[in-house]
Amino acid sequence: MKIRFSTGCIASLSLALGSGSAVAEILTVEITAHVEMIDDPGNALSGQVTVGQTATGRYSYETTVLDSNPNYDYGSYRQGPLQGQISFNVGALKFESVNDPASPKWTGPFEVPGDVTSPPWPFKANVSVSHFSEYPSVFTVMSEANKPLTTGTSVDFVVAMFRSFANPFYQDSLPTQAPDLTLYPERQVHVLGRSVSGQYYFVQLRIDSVSVLPQLQISPNQSSFVRPQQIDPALITKTPINVTRASVNGSPLPSSYLAQCQVVTLTAQNRAAIRCPNIVPWLLAGQNRVEWSVDLVDGSTTSSAVDWEVIE
């Protein structure tokens, strides 16, 4: 029997899979890569992708979702539209997943465990464990719910895949850190789709580096500004309560400034932000090291820092 999910049900499911904001953990891994292969016989990508071209991207998933596969050597971690996300930029092209629960990509029906005829779940992370040296262990993050390109060309499938014969997994648990690339000589991103006229394309990226995005992101990132250009800092994280501390070059910002910072709810990936007013009056000419600490709902505190240069 197939189970069908309505749009409203998917929104509820997204919250359920990541329920308990105090314990939900979104892991975001940033990737640099280059184009290793391009197969585009019908020119669906208009020649905008070439071998050797650099690419950047990231994937995210909820690390605390349950394994939907009972096989102890194979883990399948289905992500809701507000939990899992993947995107890659190659030149002017952006291949990215859809995180809108109202999107037709998320209205089902979706896979039912044990029913091979049911459609696949749109976004999941999988772990396949091998106990034999001749077979690889494989970790994948894949999306079949993706935005089309601006030309209308579809992005049917995006997957980041890490294959290792060193068998780094002893069980099929979902990784909570970025993959150690020294253990994964085979590491690619595959992108497949079709043009409006039905011409298929395939792009393969070679992953060059991975890094975990800090738990507390600061916007804007490191940059230079011309006074009196305004800087309204945004602190992006999970379930923040308030800014507990902030300093510029080691000197604490006044409590009157911090009191003006407000929590803003974000719809994507179970995150939120704290938005603060213009900080430029507290910045000196030249380089400024600005450090932030934020209290979270689960009682913990997360901190990060950014360098902003003010030019006068």
Q: What would the pLDDT profile of 238-287 be if each residue is shown by its tens digit?
A: 777 777 789 999 899 999 999 999 988 765 555 688 999 999 999 999 99
20 closest CA partner among 303, 238, 235, 236 = 238
Altogether, the residues listed in the chain come to a count of 312
| Res 17: pLDDT | 35
Give the rounded percent of residues in the chain with a pLDDT score beyond 90.
57
Indicate whether 198 belongs to any domain.
yes
Could you give the dihedral angle defined by the CA atoms of residues 263, 267, 270 and 272, in that order, rounded to the nearest 10 degrees? -20
Mean pLDDT of the chain: 85
Give the domain CATH number at 274: 2.60.40.1220
> 285 with 265: CB under 8 angstroms?
no
Specify whether 203 is located in the same domain as 284: no
Any domain includes 223? yes
pLDDT at 140: 97
| Pair 48, 166 in one domain | yes
Instruction: Give, in order, the Cα–Cα distances in Å from 92 to each of 89, 95, 163.
Output: 7, 10, 29
| Chain mean position to CA 147 | 15
In a domain, 231, yes or no: yes
Beta pairing, strands 301-311 & 223-226: parallel
Residues 179 and 236 both lie in one domain: no
Same domain, 51 and 178: yes
Domain total of the chain: 2
Question: Do you find a cis peptide bond into 228, omega within 30 degrees of 0?
Answer: yes
Is residue 36 domain-shared with residue 118, that is, in the same domain? yes
Give pLDDT, residue 32: 97
Instruction: Pick 157 or 131 by higher pLDDT.
Output: 157
Q: Does the structure show a pLDDT above 60 at 13? A: no
**pLDDT value for 182:** 93
CA distance 125 to 135: 20
1 belongs to a structural domain = no
Nearest by Cα to 88 from 237, 203, 194: 203
Q: How confident is the model at residue 26 (pLDDT cuts 50, 70, 90)?
A: confident
Query: Of the candidates 157, 183, 212, which is a domain's last residue?
Result: 212
Q: Is residue 2 part of a domain?
A: no
Which burial class, exposed, middle or buried, applies to 103 when counting CB atoms under 10 A from its CB (0-12, 13-18, 19+)? middle
**Do 118 and 177 have their domain in common?**
yes
259 and 171 together in one domain:
no
Amino acid at 42: G
Whether the full predicted model's pTM is greater than 0.85, yes or no, is no
Q: What is the 3-state secondary structure (H, E, C) of 254-301?
A: CHHHHCCCEEEECCCCCCEEEECCCCHHHCCCEEEEEEEEEEECCCCE
Range of the structural domain that residue 224 is part of: 217-311
Which of 193, 212, 231 is at the close of a domain? Answer: 212
Q: Residue 203's pLDDT is what? A: 98
Distance CA(97)–CA(129), nearest Å, equals 26
CB 137 within 8 A of CB 168: yes
Residue written as token pair 């490191």? 222
Confirm whether 47 is domain-assigned.
yes
The verdict on 126 and 150 lying in the same domain is yes
Does the residue 81 lie in any domain?
yes
Residue 250: inside a domain, yes or no?
A: yes
Which residues, at least 6 apart from 188, have a Cβ–Cβ distance to it below 8 Å?
Answer: 36, 160, 161, 204, 205, 206, 207
Q: For residue 6, is pLDDT > 60?
A: no
Q: Which pLDDT does position 259 carry in this prediction?
A: 93
**Residue 127 shares a structural domain with residue 184:** yes
Q: Check residue 268 and give its pLDDT.
A: 57
Tell me: do 196 and 286 sit in the same domain: no
- Model confidence band, residue 14 (pLDDT cutoffs 50, 70, 90): very low
Domain end call among 166, 191, 212: 212
HSE toward the beta carbon, residue 155, CA cutoff 13 A:
26
Q: Does 136 sit behind a cis peptide bond, omega within 30 degrees of 0 on the bond before it?
A: no
Q: Are residues 139 and 230 in the same domain?
A: no
- pLDDT single digits (tens) 91-135: 999 999 998 888 888 887 777 766 767 678 899 999 999 878 788
281-308: b (≥16 Cβ within 10 Å) or e: ebbeeeebebbbbbbbeeeeebebebeb
Answer yes or no: do 162 and 293 share one domain: no
Half-sphere exposure of 78 (CA within 13 A, CB side): 17
Rounded to 5 degrees, φ, ψ at 309 are -100, 130
Show the tokens assigned to 51: 């071998």
**For position 110, what pLDDT does the model report?**
79
